[in-house]
Amino acid sequence: LLETEEISFLSEAQQSDLLSRVKLAQQEVSTAQMLLQATGGQVGIETATLVPWHRLVNECWQVGMQWRSLTS
């Protein structure tokens, strides 16, 4: 959605920033998954690391809901 659609209620800068944050979070999650696999599950993830990811998921969910309500 962020890569393929122009989201009318976000400025171009806001949409670009959100997309950049999503891509960075995807890389962080991928790294965490690799560490978990490499250590046989002996590595944990700090709650302080999870909170920003969850906030970003919530922000994306809100954008998606608002976009769907405007396009339906």
Question: Which pLDDT tens digit goes with each residue over 19-68?
Answer: 999 999 999 999 999 999 999 988 888 899 899 999 999 999 999 999 99
Say if residues 2 and 19 touch (Cβ distance below 8 Å): yes
Predicted local confidence at residue 51, as pLDDT: 96
Whether the predicted pLDDT of 10 surpasses 90? yes
Predicted local confidence at residue 38, as pLDDT: 95
Predicted local confidence at residue 43, as pLDDT: 83
Predicted local confidence at residue 72, as pLDDT: 86
Say if residues 61 and 1 touch (Cβ distance below 8 Å): no
Q: Determine the Cα–Cα distance for residues 59 and 39; give it in Å rounded to an integer.
A: 32
